[in-house]
Amino acid sequence: MGDNVGLYEKLRMYSESGAVPMHVPGHKRNVGLLGAHLPYGIDITELPGFDNLHDMRGVLRSVAERAAALYGSERAFPLVNGSTGGLLAAVRALTSRGDCVVMARNCHMSVYSAVEMNGLRPVVMAPRTDARFGISCCVDPGEVDEAISKAPGCALVIITSPTYEGVVSDVRAISGITRSRGVPLLVDCAHGAHLGFSDFFPKSAIREGADVVVTSLHKTLPALTQCALALASGPLSRPGDIARELAVFQTSSPSYVLLASIDECLALLDTRRDELFGALEGNLRHFDARVAGLRSLRIVCRGGGLDSRSGFYGYDPGKIVVCTRGVGASGAALAEALRSGHGIETEMSASDYVVAVATVCDSRERFDALADALISIDRSPGVLRCGKTPSHPPSPPAPPPTGGLVPLAEAEGATALEHVWAYPPGTPIIVSGEVISAAALREISRLAAEGASLRTSSGSPAGFVAARRANQAPATRL
């Protein structure tokens, strides 16, 4: 079994070799007892000939090298803990405790967790919100330059591109600014693993000059959940430090099933990307033509593309963001109408839009089904008011006499002691350490009424947030 054999094929051959597994995992590849509905037959530990994720020298090194060649990076690291593990490792690798970092306000919760865990001092940039669709605009290069100037000894700049909704920032201009100042640029590209493989889509962040990029294969490419990559290029990327920190934030018993899925995904990109992305482009153009006549529902960057008002440097056409403001209904109502009336499950719903994700694995029939459903709802928007009523959170218990819990209705002006976010998308509405605003509380109230999954970092009961009122003595940070 030479290293020129794909990892999945190598695992399959080993499974059929008759080797006696006197080692973990405990299922012992016994498909006779357990059945073949789960991939027990190829789920192994680090056996001789199968390499080690934390010291790649053989077949896994070949996987990493293929990823680097495809994405145009100097180094690539397969990830089996999603982009979350990669972001935690990258932030720690690129900073020292107490450093000042510049980060976009719409970064994922994992970035905030990394900042808090490493005792970093953030200078936050807040991308403006597009007034027509209610989604965050791109990060402005000038704001990055200004923020670095306000962050003495800035050690790292962190942005998200593309965002959950597909908005792409000018990574080339931003990376030019950061490199001129000797500061590495980390891009959370979790939702953009497919970028750069077709001129129909924006270019990939690593080819646009980012020093480190973390991207989730499983979100927009054919790979199993948790499959991701960390990519590093240039003198500021510290690949050795990233490798060291990945050994901290990834399991010491990585799943070979996931690693094989990464390898299979990369092989597909290597051999069939022109065919697959050509078909996806054709399907998306067909979909755009089908929905061009929508009257009340509006789809971001469809039927007119980018314009000077949008605040979007670029946009990922694989994200289909449908705005409901024109029909006076919530995104949750549209998601429910698509689900119950048409059998279509979207990626996520926000206050007044839903996000659908298109990939190379979608058939023309699926695009037609979504177009038909949107056209039907657009012609009869009353169905959005007749769907299932979103569930409301249970009534909160009485607050304890101590513990720093503040009812949300009384939290304006208090200092948050925890993060509050909806998942998806996983971007915090309230950040620990900031003063809680009326706008944030209105957003939380609206999301709760729509049945969104609201979470807090310390598990506060529904209707409460861990906070310190302005007239309270400092409390222990939760």
- pLDDT tens by residue, 106-157: 999 999 999 999 999 999 999 999 888 889 999 999 999 999 999 989 999 9
Residues forming beta bridges with residue 185, ordered by sequence position: 157
pLDDT at 395: 37
Choose one of 267, 293, 311: the last residue of a domain. 267
Q: Which CATH number does the domain housing residue 323 bear?
A: 3.90.1150.10
- What domain range is 252 assigned to? 7-267
Residues 33 and 91 grouped into a single domain: yes
pLDDT at 77 over 60: yes
From CA 327, how far away is CA 170, in angstroms rounded? 33
pLDDT at 308 over 60: no
In a domain, 478, yes or no: no
Residues forming beta bridges with residue 455, ordered by sequence position: 421
CB atoms closer than 10 angstroms to residue 244: 14
pLDDT at 25 over 80: no
Choose one of 267, 283, 306: the last residue of a domain. 267
Most confident of 296-310, 361-375, 447-461: 361-375
Q: Which two tokens stand for residue 338?
A: 């698509």
Amino acid at 245: E
Q: Which CATH number does the domain housing residue 463 bear?
A: 3.90.105.10
In a domain, 397, yes or no: no
Q: What is the mean pLDDT of residues 100-110?
A: 95
pLDDT at 22: 61
Residues 229 and 332 grouped into a single domain: no
pLDDT at 274: 96
With a pLDDT cut of 90, the percent of the chain lying above it is 67
pLDDT at 174 over 80: yes
Residues forming beta bridges with residue 365, ordered by sequence position: none
Q: What is the mean pLDDT of residues 83-94?
A: 98
Residues 192 and 283 grouped into a single domain: no
Q: What is the mean pLDDT of residues 219-236?
A: 95
Residues 289 and 212 grouped into a single domain: no
Residues 308 and 198 grouped into a single domain: no
Residues 235 and 311 grouped into a single domain: no
User: Is 167:135 a contact under the CB 8 Å cutoff?
Assistant: yes
| Whole-number average pLDDT of the chain | 88
User: Is 349:334 a contact under the CB 8 Å cutoff?
Assistant: yes
In a domain, 357, yes or no: yes
The number of folded domains in the chain is: 3
pLDDT at 399: 38
Residues 352 and 240 grouped into a single domain: no
Residues 295 and 431 grouped into a single domain: no
Closest-CA residue to 216 (of 242, 190, 238): 190
Total length of the chain:
478
Q: Which two tokens stand for residue 133?
A: 């669709």
Residues 137 and 69 grouped into a single domain: yes
Q: What is the mean pLDDT of residues 388-405?
A: 44
Residue 278 class from Cβ within 10 Å (0-12 exposed, 13-18 middle, 19+ buried)?
Answer: middle
Q: What is the pLDDT of residues 404-456, one digit of tens each?
A: 788 888 899 999 988 888 887 888 888 888 899 888 888 888 788 777 788 88
DSSP code, position 347: S
Place of tokens 């690291």: 77
pLDDT at 397: 39
In a domain, 475, yes or no: no
In a domain, 237, yes or no: yes
Q: Which two tokens stand for residue 318?
A: 């694989």
Q: Where is average pLDDT lowest: 171-185, 197-211, 261-275, 448-462?
A: 448-462
